[in-house]
Amino acid sequence: MSPSSAGPPAGAPAREPTEQDRIVEEIRAAAGLPPLRGGHPDRAYGPYRSTALRSPSQPLVVAPPSLVERFAPVFGAADVGALDHDLTRRHVGEPLGERIVVTGRVCDRSGRPVRNQLVEVWQANASGRYRHEGDQHPAPLDPNFTGGGRCLTDDEGRYRFVTIKPGAYPWRNHTNAWRPAHIHFSVFGTAFTQRMVTQMYFPGDPLFGLDPIFSSVTDELAQQRMIARYDHDTTVAEWALGYQWDIVLDGPGATPEDPEDD
Amino acid sequence: MGAIPAADPTPSQTVGPFFAFGLPFSGGADVVPSGTSGAISVHGTVRDGAGAPVPDALLEFWQTGPDGRLPSRPGSFHRDGRSFTGFARVPTDRAGDYAVRTLRPAAPTGATQAPHIAVTVFARGLLHHLFTRVYFPNNAEANAADPLLASLDEGRRATLMAVPDGSVTGPGYRFDVRLQGPGETVFLDLITGVAQPDGDGTGA
């Protein structure tokens, strides 16, 4: 996603470069480097300032997964409540905002569905405010919205959430930094090695090219894999707009043998 | 079912600072209930490259029990007051500290690795989670034969070894996580070495 919306428009009078301009310059420089395996971000991604002290300086040690790491925790009915997938029905009233349905499939890299496995989400409210003591964005909390949900995938690997569209919000990476609207996703595979946490974005967001976290995925095709698709067939008449977003977990899945059977 | 083309993975993004109302769950630090015979504490501090505590990290633990088996029944979040679930999830506190209550793992049948707990580290400022392992010093023979431990020099190997900790009541082990810098924890790439559906293991 080229950050073409950044900086002053062509022909505008010259001005001092802003901190955001410098971030965009860094984003553009990093976009020219070859992407990492799978399109994942480099943990030491300069434009996202907090990575500076939180990314390992030693290379990862390549190791074959152990028997433990080749299997994943198993989830079921005891772990997920009947309404946990619906973030709009946790309180007495309905939350403010644009009601949406977000659905898709969780698969491994072979295209095999990840069945009956846990998908968790958390997000800001429609105003771009999280229900968290660390969020000081002066936007209103919504008494009818907490913003966390979970569900199990079905036999085809499908998940489905009902929620409201989160707002964009400011953060302190640099002056005038704003996060594009996103929903955080946490997904388990059939192997511990497939564990994934990521963020789902909405199509056409003008903040993509300005945002160091989105842009930390430098390959444009890989960026597209983080963006949901508006889908009118998922839209529910008179009720909610629909988005489709498929998730592909990295790494091989569990071997078919049950660990109890050996 | 016909052949399905290999797909490239969804890229990772940071867990961010605001996962507290989304991911932690009740009893998440208790792989076994309080009072369980043989229970141990595994605890430590997560630190960044400057040695400062990381108060917004999230750790997950996954392990066999003392019988060498992985739980395979659904209910990894469910704390019923009696079962060993094999899974813990715990956020660090304001001091960067965490603690889980669990049982000592044993190696599953056929394992080439010494008994260990598999660990995943998430944090604000960490764009892609990190895998590591907790090994226990009392398994000297198995540790000596563990291919990963054997491949590391002594200093690096020590970062994966839980340290018996007399500062706690009952059996306890300290396992600190250093994200960067002196004493940096050994983090693992568990994927590159394994054949991928696209055959080249690069996903490019």
How far is the C-alpha of A211 from the C-alpha of A186, rounded, in Å?
Answer: 21
Q: Which residues contact A158 (CB under 8 A, 6 or more apart)?
A: A103, A104, A105, A106, A113
Q: Nearest-CA neighbor of A240 among A160, A185, A182, A169?
A: A160
pLDDT tops 70 at residue A255: no
How far is the C-alpha of A115 from the C-alpha of A190, rounded, in Å?
Answer: 8
pLDDT band at B21 (very low <50, low <70, confident <90, very high): confident
pLDDT band at A59 (very low <50, low <70, confident <90, very high): very high
What pLDDT does B202 receive? 41
Sequential DSSP letters for A176-210: TEEEPPEEEEEE--SSGGG-EEEEEE-TT-TTGGG
pLDDT tops 70 at residue A257: no
Distances (CA, A) of A241 to A231, A232, B2: 8, 7, 33
What pLDDT does B159 receive? 98
pLDDT tops 60 at residue B25: yes
What pLDDT does B166 receive? 76
- Closest-CA distance, A34 to chain B, in angstroms, reads 10
pLDDT digits 0-9 by tens, B43-54:
999 999 999 999
pLDDT digits 0-9 by tens, A73-102:
999 999 999 999 999 999 999 999 999 999
pLDDT digits 0-9 by tens, A187-211:
999 999 999 999 999 999 999 999 9
- Closest-CA distance, B16 to chain A, in angstroms, reads 9
- Closest-CA distance, A195 to chain B, in angstroms, reads 8
User: Which residues partner with B118 through β-bridges?
Assistant: B62, B133
Given A45, A48, A182, A201, which residue is catalytic?
Answer: A182
What pLDDT does A41 receive? 98
How far is the C-alpha of B25 from the C-alpha of A168, rounded, in Å?
Answer: 27
The answer to whether B47 and B158 have CB atoms below 8 angstroms apart is: no
Query: Which of A76, A147, A226 is opposite residue B10, by nearest beta carbon?
Result: A226
pLDDT tops 50 at residue B67: yes
Question: What residues in A contact B201, CB-CB < 8 Å?
Answer: 37
CB contact, 8 Å: A107 with chain B?
A: yes
Q: What is the mean pLDDT of chain B?
A: 91
pLDDT tops 90 at residue A13: no
Place of tokens 């605001």: B18
What pLDDT does B76 receive? 93
pLDDT tops 50 at residue A241: yes
Q: How many helices (H) and strands (E) does chain B have?
A: 3, 10
How far is the C-alpha of A137 from the C-alpha of A19, rounded, in Å?
Answer: 20
Q: List the single range of A19-23, A161-165, A253-257 with lowest mean pLDDT.
A: A253-257
Higher pLDDT, A65 or B194: A65
pLDDT tops 80 at residue A217: yes
pLDDT digits 0-9 by tens, B142-166:
999 999 999 999 999 999 999 999 7
Q: What is the mean pLDDT of chain A?
A: 92
pLDDT band at A56 (very low <50, low <70, confident <90, very high): very high
Q: What are phi and psi of B156, to 5 degrees?
A: -70, -40
The answer to whether A236 and A242 have CB atoms below 8 angstroms apart is: yes
pLDDT tops 90 at residue A261: no
Residue type, B167: S
Q: Indicate which of A42, A53, A118, A245 best probes the interface with B, i.e. most B CBs within 10 Å of its own CB.
A: A53
How far is the C-alpha of A8 from the C-alpha of A21, rounded, in Å?
Answer: 9
Higher pLDDT, A178 or A134: A178
What pLDDT does A216 receive? 98
pLDDT tops 80 at residue B199: no
Query: Which of A56, A64, A65 is opposite residue B184, by nearest beta carbon?
Result: A56
pLDDT tops 60 at residue B103: yes
pLDDT digits 0-9 by tens, B69-101:
999 889 999 999 999 999 999 999 999 999 999
